Amino acid sequence: MPRTPFQALWLPVLAALGFFAVTWPVWRWLWFEWMSNEYYSHGLLILPVAAFLAVQRFRHDKELAYRPGQGSIYGILLLGIALAVYLYFLQQRAYYLAAFAMIGMLAGLIWAIAGTTVVKKLAFPIGYLTLMVPLPFVDRVTLPLALFTGYCSGSIVQFLGMDITIVGNSISLPNADLVVGAQCSGVNSLITLL
């Protein structure tokens, strides 16, 4: 792969610095969520993994290279729309929605600077970034899922002939009382599988 002259890299470097300057409030929110929300502590690893996947694509695909002037006007359009959506959600303090718009901004930025071929080849690493965004409804679905898990487990045990009583997320056996906690809701497993 031919080397890109240093002078040709000024646009991507300035664009990256501008992107991180504009999106700093959301990165700060993401960091706090990753450190304090047990369901999304994996979010810290998503960005390095996505970067690794992108670098691997660049290393193994000879047509995937940055060449000045190969950008797309559609990328500028996507960047503008995503930036407007990002600023609206940031102003509303809907940080998780702003984080999704930020990923759209990144896709638009890559498309505007590097072109259609590059953004298509990097679609998976860019899309993978959506897994780093904490969703606000996870805490709200944990209790109903725990209740459902307790009911299903209790029903299976009753079907097998044991005498049990199910009340909410409590299961009473003849010699023990069990409580199905939020950890048994399956949310951690579901997020891990994604």
Confidence of residue 14 (pLDDT cuts 50, 70, 90): confident
- Radius of gyration, alpha carbons of the chain: 23
* pLDDT over 60 (residue 66): yes
Confidence of residue 91 (pLDDT cuts 50, 70, 90): very high
**Selection from 173, 136, 168, 133 nearest residue 43 by Cα:** 133
Confidence of residue 169 (pLDDT cuts 50, 70, 90): low
Amino acid at 75: G
* pLDDT over 50 (residue 6): yes
Run of H or E including 113: helix 95-114
pLDDT of residue 52: 95
**Selection from 161, 180, 162 nearest residue 171 by Cα:** 180
Enumerate long-range contacts of 101-104, CB under 8 Å, 24 or more apart: 102/23, 102/26, 103/129, 103/130, 103/133, 104/78
* pLDDT over 90 (residue 30): yes
Query: Are 68 and 5 within 8 A, CB to CB?
Result: no
Stronger pLDDT, 35 or 157, i.e. the higher one: 35
42 by Cβ neighbours in 10 Å (0-12 / 13-18 / 19+) ranks as: middle
Confidence of residue 1 (pLDDT cuts 50, 70, 90): very low
* pLDDT over 90 (residue 192): no
Confidence of residue 138 (pLDDT cuts 50, 70, 90): low
What average pLDDT does this structure show over 12-34? 90
pTM of the model: 0.72
Beta-bridge partner residues of 167:
170
Stronger pLDDT, 67 or 120, i.e. the higher one: 120
DSSP state of 160: T
Q: What DSSP assignment string belongs to 48-110?
A: HHHHHHHHHHHHH-TT----TT---HHHHHHHHHHHHHHHHHHHTT-HHHHHHHHHHHHHHHH
* pLDDT over 90 (residue 50): yes
pLDDT of residue 183: 57
